[in-house]
Each structure stands twice: as structure tokens, then as C-alpha cells.
Structure 1
Amino acid sequence: MHIQLPYGKGRLEGEIDDQKLQGYLQCPLNNHVYESEAAIVEQSLKQPIGSKTLAELAYGKRHIVIIASDHTRPVPSKIILPAMLSEIEKVSPQAQISILIATGCHRSTTAKELRAKFGDELMQRLTIHIHDSESDQMADLGILPSGAPCLINQLAVEADLLLAEGFIEPHFFAGYSGGRKSVLPGIAAKNCVLHNHCAALIDSPFSRAGLLKGNPIHLDMKVAARKANLAFIVNVVLDEQQRIIASFAGDAVMAHERGCAYAAKRCGLPPIMSDLVITSNNGYPLDQNLYQSVKGLSTAAETCCKSGVIIMACQCADGIGGDAFFNMFAQCETVQKLYDKILSVPAAQTVSDQWQAQILARILIDHQVIMISDLDDEVIKKMHMIPAHTLNEAVQLADKCRGIKSITVIPEGVSVFIQK
């Protein structure tokens, strides 16, 4: 049977034994009757959820900040922002509007990436500031439920009106992306992010994809957004080709929860347990580095038999995605010892990339991972995974590892979550 997986900006193709195939886990968002993406966003702005309209909120405001996603997220800002700006400018044409790029602890977004995200016209119209979690001025907004210090970018806190764009999909420990994540980790200080992503919170059984109730990481994020006075959001849901199929505008909590409920009905799928699970990290921009691949891997692990094999297709054109992340694995004696060491780290001593290493180690303890990427083989081996360069090669390696009798395919591992 011929299969295809997203890989970078293209596709990875190969064959599997159809007699071993147990099934596909694919988000039904892709079976959609399309209408104008701009019209979908504009309609959501006309009918905000739990809030006054954006025009009513913006009336008379002089300094407005819109939090926008960074280069690692496929948010269609070229469509969302013009609709938001139109609502603002018709009531407050003299308002100073700043775009704050929510990098969290990621690297800075480049000028080329900004231009690709916003386009020439918006780049000329907008004042853009790229959040730096270590050097920007931060406002101290108190303590979060986890005990983390709530330190948020001063530019956002001083705004007359704080807004955010974003998108909603399952998130492997925050439940879902979007909404409050624009603030934490998006524009938070590094030590605030580190504390929120500590080992104890990551280890919670509620810190999983598709879960908001009882999720301690989500709770911190929601409180941080409230403390920062995030007044209004526009969050969209995308299909596999990154086209807008739904938009939710309004109150930062209520609109986000409505969007999550919409996504849950379409992205939550029952497990199809197999010896081998084949998946991807959704292609560009989500598969730019090895660090991000843990998201798709966490989905695959939920439907892979213990001691089974996972094949992950993640191009990694931008490399590993974090030296600390790589070094934790390259320098550890065994993955189990690394995992135990991370679990013993107090919240206040959390280090960069620890959470990603914790989740990957948790996966590697129970599963062998074969990584198809553009990275050097030795890098993959030092990460305690098996390198491969084609899908057919990866399937052959999986059979050697375990004698595969059953296969589940998840074409876009980041877009779905496993309901148990």
C-alpha cells in the first residue's frame, strides 16, 4: 500500500504491507466544504464570544498591542491581522498598533520569516517587536497557581488594549494551543516559562493533549493571560493544508474554550494499537527541527504497543532546535537515568528544554523511535534513536527491530490526539 506523509514543504512517500495495516488516524478537519478564509474570520469578529466587538473595545484606545505567533506556527496572519486592523482603524484611526511576536523561549524570528508571515503590505504598516524572554523589560504580575513568578513583557502590560491572534490544535502538554498560550509562554520571561514547564507539572496525568480540565500547565497559562489583561483573541482552526476552516473571536477564555470544543470533536480519535506507528510532524513549519518532533511522537506513543516502534518523519531543516535538548541525551548513560534525573529537578531549578527531554525520554523508555530527517545520522544516534532516510528504509528497520505484525498510520501527528 502506498502512503504519503508531510515532510518539510513536500511529501515523503513509501510502501507498507496492507495486510498489516490496522487503520489510519486522520483528522476529519480535512473533509470540509471551503468558503473564503477571510470571510470566516470576518464573520467571527461580527459575532464575538463572551465579549463586546473588537471595534467597541478599541474605541478611543491609543496604544494597542496584538500578540502574533512566531515562525514555528502556521498561523495565517496575512488573513487574520487585516480583519483585526480593519475593526480597530475604523474607530481609532490614530491608535498606535504594535505587533509583539510571541517567541516564548524560541530563537528570534528572522526578517525573512516575518516577511513570509505578514507580507510586504503589513510589514510596511506595522511596528513589530520580537519578544526576547531574557532581555526585554518584564512586568511583575505576582505569582501563578504553580508558584511560578508571573513576569510578562512590559510592552503588552502597558498597552491600552491587548489582543492576540493564534490557532487551535491539540498540544501535547498544554491540552490545546492558542488562547492563553500567546501570553504564557509566548511573551513571558524565561524563568516564568521554565517554572511553568517544570518536571512535576509535565508529569501530571492531566498535562496531555486534549485535556484542559485539571491541567496544571493550562491553569497557569489562563491565570497569566488574565493578569496581563488579554482582552480579545482571534483563533482559527486549520486543515492539513493550513487553510482556515473555523474562527473563534472574543473573550480570551470563552472563545478559546469554544474553539477547543470544536477541535475536540474533530481531532480526538480512538486508539488503534499496533506494533508500528508511522507518523509525521505535519510538515513545514512544524517540522523545522528535532525539538518540535516530540509533539507528533507523543501522539504516536499513545497508540503504539509497549516495546513497539514509532517511525517519525520530521525534516529538521533548521537543525536540532536546542543545544540543551541535544546534550541531555548525548551525555546521558541511559534514557531511564535521564528521565529519573529530570523528575528529581525542583520547579525553581528547571532548565531550558528540560520538558521536551522529559517527554521524549518517557516515549523512548517504552518505544524504539526511527527518525527520518535531513540530520546527520550520528546526531540521531546520540539522541538514542535510529536514523533513516526514506520511508521504505524505516519500515524495513522497524521490522528488524521487532518483527512487525500490525501498523497504524497517523499522517499528521500534531493534528490529532488519542482519546482513551
Structure 2
Amino acid sequence: MYTLKMKYGRGTVDVSIPKKNLLKVIESNSSKEKSKTQEEVIIDALANPIASARLKQLVHQGEKVCVVISDVTRLWQKMSMYLPYIVEELNNGGVKDEDILFISATGSHREQTKEEHTLLLGEKLSERFEVINHNCHDEENLTYLGKTRFGTPVMVNKKALECDHIILTGAIVFHLLAGWGGGKKSVLPGICSYESIMKNHALSLSPNAGEGSNPLVKSGYTENNPLHQDMLEATSFVKPTFMFNVIMDKEGRISHAVAGNYIKAHEAGCKIVDQIDGVAIEEKADLVIATAGGYPKDINLYQTCKTVINAKEAVKKGGTMIILSQCTEGFGNDHVQEMIRNYDTVEERETALREDYSIAKYIGYFMSEVAQEFLFILVGDMDQKLVEKANMKVVSTIEKALEIAYEEKGKDLKTYLMPYGANTLPKFLK
């Protein structure tokens, strides 16, 4: 037997399968720049911007600068570590503290508290600056700039637009809809209206009713991804002056960073993420066993979707997915629960979603869509009755999950293990 400890909640679970059935453990490729400290990575990126002059050369005394930062759900990107260097660069360009505005790119998330703002900026910067929460529903503080060719109305935070420069910050990871996070996402959804966000994210569905999810909207793909292209177009109305994005390793360190032009620098960062977290596979498996990587990535079903969307790429159609996700907080969102519990079929869910789209509803829809395509077994704390309409099976142990898989599909199942399923993207070499 081959046994691998996989993170589950705040602990670990031993996953054991016959050694002859193991195709591969899918995990990140090792980074080549561990000799650099995190501070050196940040400083090097700011000193060597891509397709841009240095930030301190782009700003001038008397100009107002808006720095767009992520909200507390992205605290893992260690913004309190890199933001002081960005402020220093602005100060060196002649910009005074009173002319620097921080806006938390909450998108459609809740407002952040003062305590959370301190976590975002760090103690020292919090003594010098306040953070404004973006409110996607506050129409008085939104400015309409036009429509994209996809029909998305671009309504952006008024205070950001009143500044001479907009600086985007964040982190680049695989993203289930936009291909990759970071870059333009600081604008849309970050500081746009709720209507803008929902219109954009509705592109995750096929243009034709009844066809379900749009196959061009997926992790690690941007070339013909309409949702990504729409975000880029929306951001072109804003014309950000500069971007700084970090890339984390599996230990949670800032291993790389990119700075400069918000398109070119982001593209360079995406290539780095792809080299580290994009893992080539030569065949699809009968069975994939994946974990998000433990708490808080497996806190609820909403967050679990990130693991499911990646694991899906490694398994044959009609195969089996076992997802280890404790889900101590259940669905994590009322809209996810509504889509899974209130409808009997995937078709009914799609119709309801098209009539009243929300991101959380799409997550609920997508999970049911996957459960129709694969044998979907969740190892977690959720009540089986809550998800049975979506064809999802819930068990409390990996042993029980394997028992069901072997009983329904046979014991000789070629298997992939994904210990960091929320971050690693299997790439099938056709």
C-alpha cells in the first residue's frame, strides 16, 4: 500500500491505496529562487518593472495616488509585508502620505473592520493611513464609464477615479473563472458595482441555454476566455498606472513577485504560476483523491469549489472524485445552499441561475454539474441529506469513501492524489 498524509481541517488524514494503482502525487513543482528572502523578492520586482518605468518615476509631487489592496479573505498574500515598499516608492517619487489613498477591493464581499484594516496594512502603515472599503451597492460613490463589447456596464469606485494614479496590488493564483487571479481583478470585480460584477461573472455560463457552464471559462486559461477578456476591457477604462502582484509557494512564502504594466507584468506572473503549480499529466485517472490543503481552505463547500475545479481536470468522464473537505461551516453561503437544495435537476438549476445570476449560485450549480458527470464523494462534516438532490455523497472517513468507490467502480482504479488541490492544476498532455 502507498500511504500519504493529507491535510484535513486542522489535522491530517492518512490516505492509503494499492501502490500499483498510483499514477502520481500531483503537487507543485519546486521553486528555484528560495535563496532570496521575501523582502529581496519584493525589492527586486519593484526595481525591475516589466514594460514600465519604476513606480517612483511615474508619480510626482502633488499628485493623488490610489492603492487598491485586497480584502481580508486574501490575507495570505502578506500585503502588510509588501505595501511598505510600495509606499516608500511613492514617497521617493515625491508623493506625500496625505495624497495616498488605500481602497480595499471588496468586490461583492462584506465591508472590512478597522481591526482587519490593521491586518491588511500592518501596524506601522495603519498609524499613517486609513483604508476605505469599496461598496459595490453604493451608487452615489460609483462612476459609469461605458460598456464592454460583452455588454458589461463598467461602474467604478468614484474615489479611485478622482486620483491621478491607480496602483493595483494582489497575488496571482489559478482562478476558477478568470484563469488566474491578480492583475485586472483588482478593478473588476475589486472596485466595480454589483451589476458590473454579476454581468461579468454570468459569462461563466455557455451563451446557449441548456448547455451549462462555458467550457472556455476555466482555471489556467485566458486566450479565448470571455470572462477574462471582459475584465481586461473593463480595466482599460480605468488605465491603471502600475501593478504589483506576489506569487506564493506552498509554505505560504512570497517566492516571486512581478511589477509594472498591469497586462504584461501579470502575464509574466501567470507564466511563473503555471510553471510552479501547473502539473503535467500524461493520462486521466479513474479516481482522484484531493484535499484543499486543510483549514481554512476547506472551511465550507463554497471554498471547496476551488479544489473540485482543479481535481476535475485529472479524472476521466464518469470517473470518481473523492474530495477531503471538512466543511465545518456547511455550505458557507445561502445561495450555494439554495442551488443545491431547492432543485431536483441540473437543468432546473441552470434555468434558475440564468434568471437571477450570482457568483455563489454559480458555485452551487457547478458543484451539481460536476456531481452529475462524476461519482462525487465528499469526506466531510456535512449532512448527506442536504446535498443528495445534487447527487453528492457525503461520508465521514476516507475509508468509507474508498469503499463506495471500489464497490461502484471496481478495485483496480488508476489513481491520482492531490494534497494541495486548491492550488495545483493538472494539465493533460493530449
Q: TM-score, normalised by structure 2?
A: 0.88
1:64 aligns with 2:65: yes
The one-character-per-residue Cα deviations of 1:242-289 (angstroms, maximum 9, x if unpaired) are: 111111000111100111122223332233422221112244444343
Are 1:34 and 1:245, in contact at CA under 8 Å, matched by a contact in 2? Answer: no
Provide the rounded CA distance (Å) in 2 between the counterparts of 1:374 and 1:123: 39
What secondary structure, in the 3-state scheme, does the structure 1 residue paired with 2:73 have?
coil
1:137-152 alignment, distance < 5 Å: 137-152=141-156
Are 2:300 and 2:327, in contact at CA under 8 Å, matched by a contact in 1? Answer: yes
Output the amino acid matched with 1:186: G
Partner of 1:245: 255
Question: For the aligned residues, what is the CA RMSD?
Answer: 2.4
Output the amino acid matched with 1:207: V
Aligned CA distance change for structure 1 residues 83 and 226 (closer, same or farther; 3 Å): same
Partner of 1:230: 240
Aligned CA distance change for structure 1 residues 110 and 326 (closer, same or farther; 3 Å): farther
Provide the rounded CA distance (Å) in 1 between the counterparts of 2:364 and 2:178: 16
Partner of 1:410: 418
Aligned CA distance change for structure 1 residues 123 and 381 (closer, same or farther; 3 Å): farther
Partner of residue 166 from structure 2, selected from 144, 155, 162: 162
Number of aligned positions between the proteins: 416
Query: Which stretch has the larger CA shift, 115-124 or 71-80?
Result: 115-124
Q: Which consecutive residues of structure 2, in runs of 5 or more, have no partner in the other structure?
A: none
Are 1:280 and 1:312, in contact at CA under 8 Å, matched by a contact in 2? Answer: yes
Partner of 1:274: 285
Provide the rounded CA distance (Å) in 1 between the counterparts of 2:21 and 2:397: 19
1:355 aligns with 2:362: yes
The one-character-per-residue Cα deviations of 1:288-332 (angstroms, maximum 9, x if unpaired) are: 431121121011111112222212223445542321121011011
Are 1:156 and 1:228, in contact at CA under 8 Å, matched by a contact in 2? Answer: no
Partner of 2:405: 398
Aligned CA distance change for structure 1 residues 94 and 31 (closer, same or farther; 3 Å): closer
Output the amino acid matched with 2:401: A
Provide the rounded CA distance (Å) in 2 between the counterparts of 1:412 and 1:207: 22
Query: Which stretch has the larger CA shift, 42-51 or 304-313?
Result: 304-313
Query: Which stretch has the larger CA shift, 145-154 or 126-135?
Result: 126-135
Please list every run of at least 4 consecutive aligned residues from structure 1 whose deviation after the TM superposition is greater than 6 angstroms: none
Partner of residue 88 from structure 1, selected from 87, 90, 97: 90
Aligned CA distance change for structure 1 residues 132 and 381 (closer, same or farther; 3 Å): farther
Aligned CA distance change for structure 1 residues 235 and 61 (closer, same or farther; 3 Å): farther
1:53 aligns with 2:26: no
Aligned CA distance change for structure 1 residues 286 and 225 (closer, same or farther; 3 Å): farther
1:324 aligns with 2:349: no
The one-character-per-residue Cα deviations of 1:41-62 (angstroms, maximum 9, x if unpaired) are: 1111001111121111232254
Provide the rounded CA distance (Å) in 1 between the counterparts of 2:406 and 2:251: 31
Provide the rounded CA distance (Å) in 2 between the counterparts of 1:323 and 1:212: 30
Are 1:63 and 1:160, in contact at CA under 8 Å, matched by a contact in 2? Answer: yes
Aligned CA distance change for structure 1 residues 13 and 112 (closer, same or farther; 3 Å): farther
Partner of 1:182: 186
Output the amino acid matched with 1:119: G
Q: Which consecutive residues of structure 1, in runs of 5 or more, have no partner in the other structure?
A: none
Partner of residue 309 from structure 1, selected from 288, 313, 320: 320
The one-character-per-residue Cα deviations of 1:325-349 (angstroms, maximum 9, x if unpaired) are: 210110111234424x257x26xx5
The one-character-per-residue Cα deviations of 1:213-233 (angstroms, maximum 9, x if unpaired) are: 111111111111121222211
Partner of residue 110 from structure 2, selected from 88, 107, 112: 107
Aligned CA distance change for structure 1 residues 77 and 56 (closer, same or farther; 3 Å): same
Partner of 2:374: 367
Partner of 2:100: 97
Q: CA deviation at 1:31?
A: 6.6
Provide the rounded CA distance (Å) in 2 between the counterparts of 1:16 and 1:65: 52
Partner of 2:300: 289
Output the amino acid matched with 1:255: A
Query: Which stretch has the larger CA shift, 200-209 or 153-162?
Result: 200-209
What secondary structure, in the 3-state scheme, does the structure 1 residue paired with 2:84 have?
helix
Provide the rounded CA distance (Å) in 2 between the counterparts of 1:10 and 1:250: 40
Output the amino acid matched with 2:107: G
Aligned CA distance change for structure 1 residues 138 and 13 (closer, same or farther; 3 Å): farther
The one-character-per-residue Cα deviations of 1:8-43 (angstroms, maximum 9, x if unpaired) are: 455444333322211111110457534210110111
What secondary structure, in the 3-state scheme, does the structure 1 residue paired with 2:77 have?
coil
Output the amino acid matched with 1:411: P
1:335 aligns with 2:336: no
Are 1:326 and 1:383, in contact at CA under 8 Å, matched by a contact in 2? Answer: no
Output the amino acid matched with 1:147: G
